[in-house]
Structure 1
Amino acid sequence: MGPEVAGPDARGALGCALADLSAVERIVRRSGTSFARGMAVLPADRRFAMFAIYGFCRLVDDVADEEAPFSTKLPRLLAWRERVARLFGDDTLPAEGSGGAVADPAASDSENAALDRVLRAAIRRFALREEDFAAVIDGMRMDAEEVIVAPPFRVFDLYCDRAASAVGRLSVRAFGDRSAAADEVAFHLGRALQITNILRDLGEDAERGRLYLPREVLGSFGVPLDPEGALRSPRLPEACRAMAARARFHFNKADAAMRRCDRAAMRPARLMGASYRAILRTLERDGWRTPEARLSVPGWRKLPIALRALSPWG
């Protein structure tokens, strides 16, 4: 349930106007994901910081995913870099109701301005870092400026860091832990989640002419380095199992780092890790027999996974 909209002077989480909080929550809920429900375990300040981080990621990702030439995407991504820099500067942001943010067409003017104000409040409250926002934008730029097909491992790992681990570095601070161990959780859990996503979305990515699996892994199993050829290869499951083993390695390293973190702060991270481990296990059981199909975890399996991850003893 979103915050109740009251008068213009009414304040809520992060000291932000209730109207701004409602606008940011609309951006999140419009995406149609279960993210908002997953963040319900957090106190209000942390929850709305995560909503603002998600809103930022969603809008930047929308730029990268558009069916448009890179020449039209690049100025918008650069505008996002400038927009983030202003959030970390001393410039006064537009007042509530006045708009004035660098507009992203995926959100209304009022939503753009509200997102900026809530993001700045989250940055100041939780010491979020500009370089992590910049890394997310750079990850989206990698996707926008060229079609990624069987990248070298160093490029693959950089993409995982920018597309997922950088989001994790922002998130763990909003969760309540800014320690080196929390950054280690972000490093490993981000890579584990991204690899799992890639293994789940092989068919969907191939339809867009993309193949994110690293060329070294594909080559070691004799899998063609093009999307269509890879999906038809009888040896693709072997390459996928090798990548699944890499994902499990990162899940295990993230678990070890979590044990050195604030336990309560890591509850959302444990939930995400448990949910994605279940996806990975489902993929491994299926064995990538039909890689063009997108598998999901049955609903009856998700509840005990979530309860176990959210338990203070889990």
Structure 2
Amino acid sequence: MTVRELDAAGIEDPALRAAYTRCRGLNAQHGKTYFLATRLLPVDRRPAVHALYGFARWADDIVDDLDSTATPEERARALVELESQLESGLRHGRSAEPVIRALADTADRYGIESRHFTDFLASMRSDLTVGGYASYEELGRYMHGSAAVIGLQMLPVLGTVGPREEAAGHAAALGVAFQLTNFLRDVGEDLDRGRLYLPTDLLAAHGVDRDRFEWSRRTGRRDGRITAVLRAAGNHNRTVYRDALPGIAMLAPVSRPCIRTAFVLYSGILDAIEADGYAVLHRRAVVPRRRRAAVALDGLARVLTARAVARLREGPAAAGRISAAARPAVTGTARAVRKEAV
């Protein structure tokens, strides 16, 4: 993590700075789309987002790492240990584990409810034993903990222009929309893990079952009925994005460019899946780097506009210029965007 971000957030303790730096590394390594969008946030809010992502990534890796030789029992024990560390860290505000320490500090700074983290871990535990869901209603109960609560964790960090509870439903919907996109993009990899997040009744409505999906994954052969299922799942995903969209305007103006960029990039994955003929069982759909860069540049322009408006409200002398403190952040973001285009 850059010194600038830590300084702007008022994080002074060396061990705590190291903990946040660890979380930032996890975000940069594994959440490339999300990390790029995070660069559009005000520098003082970025460490908190990195802490939230770092914790979620750590738990997800315990459950999903295909390169790990851990047995289901060992993964379950690791989750129990993580939950114990989380409970202690949130109670005492400190932990020997860096990711937990950063998370506990973020939860305290922004008043994030602890139940959002325990609900998340409950869904992670279910991944060790549950391999499928009968309906979107049943899947939705799982996604409350695995996705909706991520949006609710983020909301205090992003800030709102009105009562937070009015934006909460949209924030939860956006978390769900992002995860539904991940489910569709990663359907082949999830099958390799023994899971299928497409509801059984959706498959049945198109005359296929899980065995047919596994056959397609194994043989590399296509089936029009599977394509129909995937198209229907994508259409459902787009309705959730539409439900989430009004929430962006409810966020603090300086946070909107970040979330709008994430919104456009993630929904763009659906476009890439469609353009590739819904071949997600056989290859991973990717938004082209130049497209990601163009979206991020648009987000950067919106950041600059939001900051200019904020400075105008502070007084005419502050308008029309980037402060010395903000200039490195803008330059760093522009540099990261340029790298996306090459």
- Give the TM-score taking structure 1 as reference length: 0.82
Report what 1:191 is aligned to.
176
Counterparts of residues 1-314 of structure 1 (less than 5 Å) = 2-3=2-3, 13-30=9-26, 32-33=29-30, 34=32, 35-66=34-65, 67-89=69-91, 91=92, 93=94, 101=96, 112=97, 114-146=98-130, 148-177=131-160, 179-226=164-211, 227-229=213-215, 231=217, 232-289=222-279, 291-312=281-302
* Pair 85,299 (structure 1): closer, same or farther in 2 beyond 3 Å: same
Report what 2:337 is aligned to.
none
> Percent identity between the aligned chains?
27
Per the TM alignment, residue 42 of structure 1 is displaced from its structure 2 partner at its CA by 2.4
* Pair 150,229 (structure 1): closer, same or farther in 2 beyond 3 Å: farther
Equivalent residues of 1:16, 1:118 under 8 A apart:
no
Q: Distance in 2 between matches of 1:285 and 1:141?
A: 35
Question: Alignment RMSD, CA only?
Answer: 2.7
Q: Partner amino acid for 1:281?
A: D
Per the TM alignment, residue 275 of structure 1 is displaced from its structure 2 partner at its CA by 0.3
Equivalent residues of 2:174, 2:241 under 8 A apart:
yes
Which structure has more helix as a fraction of its residues? Answer: 2
Q: Partner amino acid for 1:2?
A: T
Q: Distance in 2 between matches of 1:120 and 1:154?
A: 32
- Give the TM-score taking structure 2 as reference length: 0.76
Residue range with higher mean Cα deviation, 11-20 or 245-254: 11-20
What whole-Å deviation, never above 9, does each CA across 1:268-306 have from its counterpart, x for those lacking one?
221111101111111112221463111101111112222
Task: List alignment gaps of at least 5 residues for structure 1.
Answer: 5-9, 95-100, 102-111
Per the TM alignment, residue 154 of structure 1 is displaced from its structure 2 partner at its CA by 2.8
Per the TM alignment, residue 92 of structure 1 is displaced from its structure 2 partner at its CA by 6.2
Runs of 4+ in 1 over 4 A off after TM superposition: none
Task: List alignment gaps of at least 5 residues for structure 2.
Answer: 307-342
Residue range with higher mean Cα deviation, 127-136 or 203-212: 203-212
Equivalent residues of 2:158, 2:252 under 8 A apart:
no
Counting matched residue pairs gives 290
Q: Distance in 2 between matches of 1:150 and 1:223?
A: 15
* Pair 273,217 (structure 1): closer, same or farther in 2 beyond 3 Å: same
Per the TM alignment, residue 30 of structure 1 is displaced from its structure 2 partner at its CA by 4.6
Equivalent residues of 2:185, 2:280 under 8 A apart:
no
Per the TM alignment, residue 249 of structure 1 is displaced from its structure 2 partner at its CA by 0.8
Equivalent residues of 2:249, 2:256 under 8 A apart:
no
